[in-house]
A and B are shown apart, each in its own frame.
Chain A
Amino acid sequence: MGVSREPADPPSEEAAAFLERAIEQYGKAVYNFAFRLTGHEADARDLTQDAFIRVYRAWRSFVPGTSFLSWVYRIVTNLYRDELRRKKGRFLEELPEDSARQDYGGERPLAVDPIEDYMAGQLGGPMQKALEHLSPDQRQVIVLADIEEYSYQEIADIMGCSIGTVRSRLHRARALLRRLVMRAQARNEL
């Protein structure tokens, strides 16, 4: 068929220009997103590289006028999920859904600023450490909702799930983070 790639064909002009601009404008954001998901620099580099290769190959499917970052985050999310599946054989990252609401009523003891005390001296690394205690799905939803500040609908689009699932994952992830922070504050570690 005449598609021998020795040496490899140069990238098409349009695709190359698209990729160049994508890396230039969003490379750092994608890398940071990948780092928050994986928690490891080497994994984040691999994930970022794979994501931009996918961007290069699928650039025609990007719809102009829509958010490029949402599109590429969806790619990263899918690649990360595939990688987890590959590593573990199956994907059982999410804890069973629990619809029980966390009612506490008037008798609930007040949470007396454990987060404020904790965060005063715990930045950067400890947050990443805290995220590692979450399941991959919970981590993604925390990163997207609280760090990237996407709406539930946007997160649902990126993660390929329903808004209800986003909501319950976020509630659960935050409850877990809250407990982690309180426990860490009690032991002065995380």
Chain B
Amino acid sequence: MTHHFTTDDFIDYLHGELAPAEDARIHAHLIACETCRAAYEAEARLGEWLRRAAREDERELPALLKARIWEAVRAQRPSLGERLRAVLRPALLLPAGVALAALVFVVYPAAHAPGTAPTVAASYYLDEHAAEGQENPLADHPITATVITASDTSSEVATDGGDAGDHAAGP
């Protein structure tokens, strides 16, 4: 029994898309089989018709289209890449690099110079100490009494009680 091929096979054959062995098989079959040859020729004619019709219907680029393209191109915003390239072009990059280097040379040593570390005034510790003493009446902080004495509030000291108050009110 003769094995016939399909139109799909002929389409692939016409477009040269078959493996060599399959291509050769179809080629040999078409010589011998009138039925398949007719189907193959119909597919071939369809392709020829399409190409011929396309040639006949070929159009020129409309005269104004080129101008329209250029007009549209000129009105385009630059892409991100173009903008980056524009910003990073050497004319700008060089001065920017110099400025950055200068900034590093000036600012970095100044920021790391000895003795310039942030400091806290000694009075801060004294005031803090006094405040803690007030908050905790049980604490043994003579300095609290000193501070209170300086503000001349002996009655309050007496109320707070304790040795500290007596000591402060002394001489």
Contacts and interface: CB of A to CB of B under 8 A. Distances in A.
Contacts, number: 154
Given A10-B74, A110-B38, A45 B50 contact: no
A127 B76 contact: no
Secondary structure of the A contact surface, majority rule: helix
Contact of B6 (A3, A103, A110): A103
Contacts of B82: 12
Contacts of A174: 7, 11, 43, 46
A36 B78 contact: no
A152 B17 contact: yes
Task: Report whether over half of chain B's contact residues are helix, strand or loop; otherwise say mixed.
Answer: helix
Size category of the B interface is 35 or more
B66 to A, nearest CB: 6
Given A111-B38, A111-B42, A128-B57, A105 B4 contact: yes
28 contacts: A3-B77, A3-B78, A8-B74, A8-B75, A12-B82, A31-B61, A31-B62, A32-B58, A41-B59, A41-B62, A45-B65, A57-B76, A102-B6, A104-B7, A111-B39, A113-B45, A115-B49, A118-B49, A119-B45, A123-B52, A123-B53, A127-B50, A146-B47, A167-B12, A171-B7, A175-B7, A177-B50, A181-B46
